[in-house]
Amino acid sequence: MSALGRLGIWSRGSACNADDPVIDLRVDGSRDPVGDLGRLLTVARAHRRLVRSAMARVAEVEPKALRWARVSAERAAREGNPHAAALLDRVDQPPRVR
């Protein structure tokens, strides 16, 4: 039996259109769609925090945000999320100076 899970999160009071989703995740054919959505949401939030940190400091990565992103990615990897490897690779890269 195939299961489908979908999660949409919208932003309030931001510069973007209120109808535009901030996060739109979909899981098809999963035995645990809610669990898979949770893992994807964890990785998406960790990535968003890492990006915000990079925007806040061009030449230097905020150490606190980097630690949080690493912990979140490692937890997602332990839970079996195959997408966590991409975030771990990103966290392991040295900061780029422009």
pLDDT value for 20: 58
pLDDT value for 96: 54
Concatenate the DSSP letters of all residues of 31-48 into one string: S-HHHHHHHHHHHHHHHH
For the ranges 1-15, 26-40, 55-69, which has the lowest average pLDDT? 1-15
Of 63 and 35, the one with more pLDDT: 35
Instruction: Using a cut of 0.85, tell me whether the model's pTM lies above it.
Output: no
Q: Residue ranges of the domains in the chain?
A: 4-92
Question: Crossing angle for the helix pair 84-92 and 33-56, nearest 10 degrees?
Answer: 20
pLDDT of 60 above 60: no
Of 59 and 70, the one with more pLDDT: 70
